[in-house]
Amino acid sequence: MKHVKYPGRRKISLTVIILGIVSFFATFSSDMIYPLLPIFLSLLGAGAIDLGLVEGIAEATASSLKILSGYLTDRVKKRKPFVLAGLSLSSTMRPLIGLATAWPSVLGLRFMDRTGNAIATSPQDALIVDVTDYELTGKAFGFQRAMEHGGSVAGPLTAVLLIRVFRFSLRKVFIFSIVPASLAISLLIFLIKEQGGSSERFSPEATLARQGHKRNGGLEREFKLFILTAITFTLGHPTDTFLLLRLHMAGFEAASSAILWSLFNIIKGVSTYIGGGTADRIAPKSMIIAGWLSSALIYLLFAMLESRGALIGVFLFYGVYFGFTEPAIRVFIRSFVNHELRGRAFGYYSGAIGFASLPASLLFGFLWQRLGYRYAFAAGIVFTLLGCAGLGMIKEPKKKS
């Protein structure tokens, strides 16, 4: 699909819009089951440590493919085949969770689901950058993430409808998730066509990144430091299923958790769309630090509060954190790399935080089950503050006048 530039107008490309719709349906499918997974696993006899094991292994072992797919998409200069292969794998594996009779089976299926997601993630991010001018990077990713979070609203609400109106069991809801996934794959096959070459209009930051690449022969030192900082932060932030488990402990049932997850994702969608445009105008590093600090406050409140109403408010406020961080991180990464390293850069970032999610989930689950959830959230706050300190020491590329 040819990328059309609009002189003097700030519009994202049609390719980004279609990818946003694809993300909507793909996440629609995923989040029909995601908020129900902790409850389903508990019905199969899994505890907090088992939950950490399921989510941690599923993410961490698949993360090597985020790096590999990022490397390969740069080498073959193709994005769509990787995105299509990843979505197809996830769409096939996810409904099979509804047939599982023991939590180790869920572990295997979640691994394959996350493997598909890993294959698609880096090439999709690179494709968005390929068809987007530098000055619109945050806006493009903000739109794509907003559509993705829109799917996270539609998915749980559909699950509630199926459970309460049509009396679906959890297993049947999982199987039904193949319907929106099929729509995502169809749109990707028939409406996305890759263009030849890059349409990028390099900014001063990207120009400096290209010069740094020629000088250092690879990814810049500051980018590598950012990866280490992101790993540190992630060690304190396992899968959000632990937040859902905390709400479940406070008395929320399956349908209530799904509704709350939808409201949460409405806030995520609005905040990421607004945050995307903001990240194009101000320093993305400042936005990331602000978001990380807000997550520390949220963890503190989750550890201290007992009221169901208060926990609902804190959980919904957590959606704002993503508006600060998701688009800004993509803008920050792009400022350090050129076109030839684009897929690899997103792959290294996604892979690194994926690998870190395994020890993060295991540590969080261990502290939760052995000492209590307050100790788990306290550990998360410590890693968050360490990550903020590390990020503050990273130099952003300087703009030329």
Q: Would you write out the chain's pLDDT as a tens digit for each of its 401 residues?
A: 444 343 444 689 999 999 999 999 999 999 898 878 878 888 888 877 777 777 667 666 667 788 899 999 999 989 999 999 999 999 999 999 989 999 889 878 888 898 898 899 999 999 999 999 988 999 999 999 999 989 988 998 899 899 989 999 999 999 999 999 999 999 999 999 886 544 444 444 444 444 544 444 456 788 999 999 999 999 999 878 788 888 888 887 767 777 887 888 899 999 999 999 999 998 899 999 999 999 999 999 999 998 888 999 999 999 999 999 999 999 999 988 887 888 999 999 988 988 888 889 889 989 998 999 999 999 999 999 999 999 999 987 654 33
Q: What are phi and psi of 251, to 5 degrees?
A: 115, 10
pLDDT (tens digit per residue) in 40-93: 888 888 877 777 777 667 666 667 788 899 999 999 989 999 999 999 999 999
pLDDT (tens digit per residue) in 53-66: 776 676 666 677 88
Q: How many CA atoms lie within 13 A of 331 on its CB side?
A: 33
Closest Cα partner for 16 from 116, 138, 155, 115? 138
pLDDT (tens digit per residue) in 287-296: 999 999 999 9
- The whole-angstrom separation of Cα 29 and Cα 241 is 17
| Domains, the chain | 14-392 (1.20.1250.20)
- Rounded alpha-carbon distances, angstroms, from residue 235 to 151, 379, 385: 27, 9, 11
Q: How many other C-beta atoms can be found within 10 angstroms of the C-beta atom of residue 20? A: 21
Containing H/E element for 171? helix 170-176
- The whole-angstrom separation of Cα 354 and Cα 65 is 10
pLDDT (tens digit per residue) in 199-241: 444 444 444 444 544 444 456 788 999 999 999 999 999 878 7
Indicate the burial class of 23 (C-beta count within 10 angstroms; 0-12, 13-18, 19 or more).
Answer: buried
pTM: 0.82
Would you say the C-alpha torsion 351, 353, 358, 361 has a positive or negative sign?
A: negative
354 within 8 A of 67, measured Cβ to Cβ:
no
- The whole-angstrom separation of Cα 29 and Cα 46 is 23
